[in-house]
């Protein structure tokens, strides 16, 4: 999605969505023709749809069907299996949208190997912005593509979990599962 389209609330963009129960709760996923633009956790389908609509108020949003977005069913199943069964994170197309700084942070997050963690300050240093620790934390908090953009791998400097948009329990569970996956591959 081009930045101008994102800034216009997704005007002219067609977005398909679906939801599925996972080990972390109800997960909603949405995608454009380019790839996944939204992965969130919520209490029910209507709250997930409200989040998606708030993010893209001017987009044409529709429930996924096999005719409109056959990939979405496969993608949501692959991510659910990663979360629930611990299989490796699927390599799915992602349609990231945000500021240039957010995109820089999110792209770096994609390079962090399973089982590894960094602090917010280490992440700031890695992207050559050592004084931007708060901005890095804000970029992580603005991530709308849970798990696929692994902001859960960023901790406080003291090793504490810090915050997580979808709750500390989910962050802890993801890190524990990834540690197990990493041990299996050693």
In a domain, 173, yes or no: yes
* Residue 170 neighbours by CB distance under 10 Å: 20
Of 186 and 21, the structure prediction assigns the larger pLDDT to 21
Domain C-terminal end among 85, 112, 145? 85
pLDDT given at position 186: 46
* 92 occurs within a structural domain: no
Question: In terms of C-beta density within 10 A (0-12 exposed, 13-18 middle, 19 or more buried), how is residue 34 classed?
Answer: middle
Give the per-residue pLDDT at 97: 85
User: What is the domain count for the chain?
Assistant: 2
Are 96 and 103 in contact by the 8 Å Cβ rule? The answer is yes
> Which residue in 146, 151, 154, 155 is the catalytic one?
151
Per-residue pLDDT band for 10 (boundaries 50, 70, 90) equals low
Q: What pLDDT does 21 receive?
A: 87
Residue 165, domain CATH: 1.10.10.10
d(CA 63, CA 10): 16
In a domain? residue 56: yes
First vs last C-alpha separation in the chain: 38
Q: Of 59, 85, 111, which closes a domain?
A: 85
Do residue 13 and residue 45 come from a single domain?
A: yes
Phi and psi at 87, nearest 5°, equal: -70, 160
Q: For residue 5, what pLDDT is reported? A: 58
CA distance 77 to 158: 35
Answer yes or no: is 12 within a domain: yes
Q: Which domain holds residue 145?
A: 100-184
> Where is the domain boundary, 28, 61, 85?
85
Residue 146 burial (CB count, 10 A): 24
Cβ neighbours around 171 below 10 Å, total: 21
State both tokens at 20: 């599925």
Give the pLDDT confidence of 44-88 residue by residue, as tens digits.
999 999 999 998 998 899 888 644 556 777 888 888 888 888 777
CATH number at residue 51: 3.30.160.70
Interval 25-31 mean pLDDT: 92
**Domain shared by 106 and 177, yes or no:** yes
Q: List, for residues 81-99, the tens digit of each pLDDT value.
A: 888 887 778 889 999 988 8
**Which pLDDT score, from 0 to 100, does residue 185 have?**
46
90 within some domain:
no
Q: Which helix (H) or strand (E) holds 174?
A: helix 168-184
Is the domain of 164 the same as that of 127? yes
38 pLDDT higher than 80 = yes
pLDDT in tens, 143-186: 999 999 999 999 998 989 988 889 999 999 999 888 876 555 44
- Note if 151 is an active site residue: yes
Indicate whether 110 and 55 sit together in one domain: no
Same structural domain, 180 and 105 = yes
């Amino acid at each position: 999605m081009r930045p101008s389209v994102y800034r216009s609330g997704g005007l002219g963009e067609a977005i398909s969505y679906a939801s599925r129960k996972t080990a972390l709760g109800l997960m909603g996923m949405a995608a454009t023709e380019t790839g996944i633009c939204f992965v969130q956790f919520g209490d029910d389908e209507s709250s997930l749809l409200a989040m998606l609509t708030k993010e893209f108020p001017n987009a044409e949003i529709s429930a996924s069907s096999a005719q409109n977005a056959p990939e979405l069913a496969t993608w949501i199943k692959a991510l659910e299996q990663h979360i629930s069964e611990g299989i490796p994170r699927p390599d799915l197309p992602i349609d990231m949208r945000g500021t240039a700084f957010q995109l820089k942070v999110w792209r770096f997050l994609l390079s962090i190997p399973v089982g590894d963690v960094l602090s917010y300050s280490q992440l700031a240093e890695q992207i050559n912005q050592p004084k931007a620790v708060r901005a890095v934390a804000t970029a992580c908090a603005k991530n709308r593509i849970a798990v696929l953009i692994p902001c859960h791998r960023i901790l406080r400097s003291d090793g504490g979990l810090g915050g997580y948009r979808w709750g500390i329990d989910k962050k802890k569970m993801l890190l524990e599962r990834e540690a197990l996956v990493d041990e299996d591959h050693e």
